[in-house]
Amino acid sequence: MTIAFTAKGLTKTYGEGRSAVHALRGVDLEIPQGEIVVMLGASGSGKSTLLNILGGLDHASTGTVHFRDICLTDLDDSGLTRYRREHVGFVFQFYNLMPSLTARENVELVTEIADNPMRPEEALELVGLKERVDHFPSQLSGGEQQRVAIARAIAKQPEVLFCDEPTGALDSATGRAVLRVLNEVNQRLGATVLMVTHAANIAGMAHKVIRLADGQIREVEQNETRLSPEEVVW
């Protein structure tokens, strides 16, 4: 089993002195390559902070994080930019599509700067939007927009896909469709999918579930049997 991420003694503190907020208080963690990992936790548990550090969007205060043999905690800003550009994709709760670009162009935004991208049309087909490639975000539903965001994130064939509340703004049917796409990306591309969510029910489809509270990992659970996206109760 290849390990994608190794974190040791990870802490993150915002602010100083009495007003300091300890978002992470010593996290040790290993995430294997090619799994779907769901991080659960209440608001303020540190799950998003952890995701951001692993995704190269934020620096840890102390401790180390390795993505394979790259030490993320050693990288400077441009190093992290390169890491995000070459290895990872992101999906956010509010899609963050470029309203001025069509679905295809949104995907091309990434394929233009990636080393080994798939064709934009292929990425859009993968998320079931083959027919909507020339539509602008304003002409797509919320679920469709989120699927374009996923197509954009996977088009570079990333090794890791980070999803922060990807279904947070969606109803159950569209939410399930998005989960189905994420599952397929994991299976077909072998990408590690790291998902942060409030929704405990989504945990059923993960290989591994990490529960966080007060900036620490409370429990790591390996699912013996995984639910299919259709079986996820909303």
Give the residues lining the site for another protein (CB under 8 A). 48, 52, 57-58, 77-78, 81-86, 90, 92-94, 96-101, 105-106, 108-110, 112-113, 135-139, 145, 152, 164, 169
For the bound state, the minimum distance from the C-beta of residue 195 to another protein, rounded and expressed in Å, comes to: 15
For the bound state, the minimum distance from the C-beta of residue 196 to another protein, rounded and expressed in Å, comes to: 11
For the bound state, the minimum distance from the C-beta of residue 92 to another protein, rounded and expressed in Å, comes to: 5
First to last CA, the chain: 32
Q: Which of 123, 84, 128 is nearest to 105 (CA)?
A: 123
Can you give the three-state secondary structure of 57-76, one letter per residue?
A: CCCCCEEEEEECCEEHHHCC
Nearest-5° Cα angle at 124, 119 to 126: 95
Residues 6+ apart with CB under 8 A from 53: 7, 10, 12, 24, 59, 60, 65, 72
63: left (phi over 0), alpha (psi -120 to 50) or beta: left
Please, which residue, 109 or 227, has the CB nearer to another protein? 109
What amino acid occupies position 63?
G
Please, which residue, 34 or 89, has the CB nearer to another protein? 89
Please, which residue, 135 or 226, has the CB nearer to another protein? 135
CA distance linking residue 37 with residue 6, whole number of Å: 14
For the bound state, the minimum distance from the C-beta of residue 23 to another protein, rounded and expressed in Å, comes to: 12
Please, which residue, 109 or 199, has the CB nearer to another protein? 109
Please, which residue, 139 or 187, has the CB nearer to another protein? 139
For the bound state, the minimum distance from the C-beta of residue 87 to another protein, rounded and expressed in Å, comes to: 9
